[in-house]
């Protein structure tokens, strides 16, 4: 009976584990960076266009998870920001002043590039 001995599998396994962790960290950084850009773009748009900028500006925030993020208007203070929807989409008496949709459009285009760039640098 013939036997084959393969050397280096332990080292290969350790190397693959290190590479995997680097890629995971790179993806997490890309998520956070993109969420920061979306939040900043939304705030910049509100500050430039909206008459409702005070509380609305303070309500634009982000929550970053491991590989996911949510950016939007969060009711964290004493003022209810229910009207953010009306500012974004307008009403029959008020024109729309979109601030989240344009910021999200940036993420749809830039996020894949961010991931590629972060992973490239990590490796």
* pLDDT 10s digits, 15-62: 999 999 999 999 999 999 999 999 999 999 998 876 667 889 889 999
The pTM assigned to this predicted structure is: 0.82
* Measured CA angle at 103 (ends 97, 105), to 5 deg: 110
pLDDT at 4 over 90: no
**51-77 average pLDDT score:** 88
- List, in order, residues 6 or more apart from 29 with CB less than 8 Å away: 118
pLDDT of residue 120: 94
pLDDT of residue 78: 75
pLDDT at 85 over 80: yes
pLDDT of residue 3: 84
pLDDT at 73 over 90: yes
pLDDT of residue 51: 67
Report in angstroms the alpha-carbon separations of 96 from 44, 71, 85, 100, 108: 16, 19, 9, 12, 22
Q: pLDDT band for 69, please (50, 70, 90 cuts).
A: very high
Mean of pLDDT over the chain:
90
């Amino acid at each position: 009976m013939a036997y084959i001995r393969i050397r280096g599998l332990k080292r290969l396994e350790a190397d693959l584990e290190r590479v995997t962790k680097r890629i995971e960290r790179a993806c997490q950084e890309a998520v956070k960076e993109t969420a920061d850009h979306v939040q900043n773009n939304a705030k910049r748009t509100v500050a430039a266009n909206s008459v409702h900028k005070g509380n609305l500006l303070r309500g634009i925030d982000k929550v970053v998870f491991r590989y996911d993020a949510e950016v939007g208007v969060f009711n964290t203070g004493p003022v209810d920001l229910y009207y953010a929807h009306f500012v974004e989409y307008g009403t029959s008496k008020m024109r729309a002043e979109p601030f989240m949709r344009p910021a999200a459009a940036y993420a749809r285009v830039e996020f894949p590039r961010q991931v590629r760039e972060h992973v490239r640098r990590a490796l």
